[in-house]
Structures are given as structure tokens and as C-alpha cells.
Amino acid sequence: MNRKYRKTIIAGNWKMNMLASEVKPFMDALKAAMPKARTCSVALCVPFPLIPALVKASKESRVSVGAQNVSNHAKGAYTGEVSISQLLDLGVKYVIVGHSERREYYGETDELVRDKAKAIIDADITPIICVGESLSQRESGLTMEFVSYQVKAALGTLTPDQIRRCVIAYEPIWAIGTGKTATEKEANEVCAQIRSVIRSITGARIARGVSILYGGSMNAANAEELLSMPDIDGGLIGGASLKTDDFVKIIEATAQ
């Protein structure tokens, strides 16, 4: 982490878990256990039906509310979709875009990720843009090339000021939900490459201010080591964000 230039962020991704009735008990426990020192920004990205309950339960806390997806369309005949204005109206501050599960299961393309990111930025909400390689790509030595392409595809048509407002999450696909994780050095190497790509687009000043998160099975046991790396500015946390004790330990690790 480098707090001199950029924000440290711990963002939970609940995926398709929890019920609205479970949000308040979770938040009550989280607020009680949250460290008093503000060493990072904290967000929870939850399924659409849970957002109103989380907005209510997170009042008088420093937990921001995030969504896991958004339509690239502003409004109209798109049954089942949710627009950025609807999320803004609810009080959402972050939106995840381009998660590997969205890319794999729902066919989201790099172009769609780019369009969604721009819509999010235009609404003055922060996009968390996910990139990451598969196991076969890593074993073939294609990690840097593939991740660099994803970053360029997502950011290539954005202005430097728009890029400054983005968060990038490096999530190696082979480490999501598997319990496997890149070593801290492996993760930092890719995060450093992501920053290098941003630098090539925007210049050094903006690139050093963009927060880059690691999201491959970061947990209470490995968070401190991963967060000690200079180009890892936080975590996009999956399963561990559903457990108050584990999530708090990851937040506490940002103080090290």
C-alpha cells in the first residue's frame, strides 16, 4: 500500500448470498467490531434486493454501499436490468464491473465492461473494474499480456480524469473461491503491471493515484502479507466478507 498517493479500500463482494433480513444483524456485528482507527475505506457490494436494507443498516457507519453489476443502458425496455440512475437514487457508491463470473457465465465483453464503467463514472459513482487471467493463461506465460489487454480495453476510451476515478481489482480467475491465492510477490507483479499500463495511458501522476485491489481469495490469514506489497492498495473480498470476524481482521490488516 502507498497511502501517500492513493486510497486503501477493502470491498466485500457478497455475490449471491445473504437475505435482506440478515443484513441488519450482520451490520450491527460489523459496526461493533470495526476498529476505531480509519486506516482504509470499507464497502460492501451486495445483490440488488439487499441494497435498501444495507443503506439503512449502514447509516452512522463508515461502510459504503456497493452493487455487483449495472446495465450499460440509461433506461428503457431492458427487462431484468438495473440502471445506474436507479443505483444512484438508492445511495450506491461503488459498482463492480467485469467480474470474471459475469464475463464467463453471462458473456460480458471487454467493450461492455468499458461502457458500464463509463456510465458509472458519469453518475459520479466509483467503478471497481475486475481483470484477471485463467490458470491456463498463467501456465502459458500469458498473464501480463492478457491482463494488460483487459486494462487497455476497459480504460482506452476514457479520459485521464475519468481513469483517475476508477478502481481496478486484479482477480486471477484460478484463485477466486478456490482457496488458492497468488503469492504476495506474484500478486504485486501483476498489480504493478496494471499500474504501468495506466501510466502509459494517463502519465505517472494519475497512475500513481489509482487504487488497485487484489481479489484472489484474500482472507484473514493472508491479508497482511498481500497488503504489505507496494502496488496492492486493498482487497476485493469474497467469502471472507460474509463472516464478520474475518472481514474485520482484513480491515485491521490495513493498519500494518
Q: Report, as residue numbers or ranges, the catalytic residues.
A: 99, 171
The set of residues, in sequence order, having a beta carbon less than 8 Å from that of 9 and lying 6+ positions away, is 40, 41, 42, 43, 167, 211, 213, 233, 234, 235
Q: 90, exposed or middle or buried, with CB in 10 Å at 0-12, 13-18, 19+?
A: middle
**How far apart, in whole angstroms, are the C-alpha atoms of residue 222 and residue 125?**
30
| Cβ-contact 44, 65 below 8 angstroms | yes
Grid cell for residue 54? 444495507
The set of residues, in sequence order, having a beta carbon less than 8 Å from that of 10 and lying 6+ positions away, is 40, 41, 42, 43, 234, 235, 237, 247, 250, 251, 254
CA distances from 30 to 42, 63, 70, 188, 205 (A): 11, 9, 26, 29, 36
Grid cell for residue 232? 496492492
**How far apart, in whole angstroms, are the C-alpha atoms of residue 2 and residue 13?**
23
Give me the residues paired with residue 94 across strands: 66, 126
